[in-house]
Amino acid sequence: MCATHIEEGCLCKRCLQRLPRTEQAYQRQNVTEMAVLGLPSDMVRAGKVMHVDKAAAFLFYEKDHPIQQLIHRMKYADRPELGYQLGRQAALEFQYADFFDEIDLIIPMPLHPKRLRERGYNQSEYIARGISEVTGIPVDTTHVTRVRNTPKQALQTGEQRKTNVADAFAVQYPEQLYHKHILLVDDLITTGETMRACLKAMRQFRGATFTVFSLCKAQ
Are residues 55 and 32 in contact, defined by beta-carbon separation less than 8 angstroms?
yes
CA torsion through residues 74, 148, 141, 121, sign: negative
Nearest-approach distance from CB 211 to Zn ion, in angstroms: 30
By CB under 5 A, name the one of 2, 3, 10, 147 that touches Zn ion.
2
Segment interacting with Zn ion, rule: CB under 5 A, options 9-17, 148-156, 161-169, 192-200: 9-17
CB 129 to Zn ion: min, Å: 22
Position 212 contacts Zn ion (CB under 5 A): no
3 part of the interface to Zn ion, by CB under 5 A: no
Note whether 218 binds Zn ion by CB under 5 A: no
Cα dihedral angle (68, 137, 33, 29), rounded to 10 degrees? -120
Torsion of CA 90, 96, 99, 105, to 10 degrees: 70
Please report, as residue ranges, which positions from 14 to 53 form the binding site for Zn ion (by CB under 5 A). Answer: 14-15
Shortest distance in whole angstroms from residue 147 CB to Zn ion: 40
CA dist 211 and 183 (Å) reads: 5
CA angle 89, 110, 47 (to 5 degrees): 75
Question: Rule CB under 5 A: is residue 12 a binding residue for Zn ion?
Answer: yes
Interface with Zn ion includes 5 (CB under 5 A)? yes
For Zn ion, the binding residues (CB under 5 A) are 2, 5, 12, 14-15
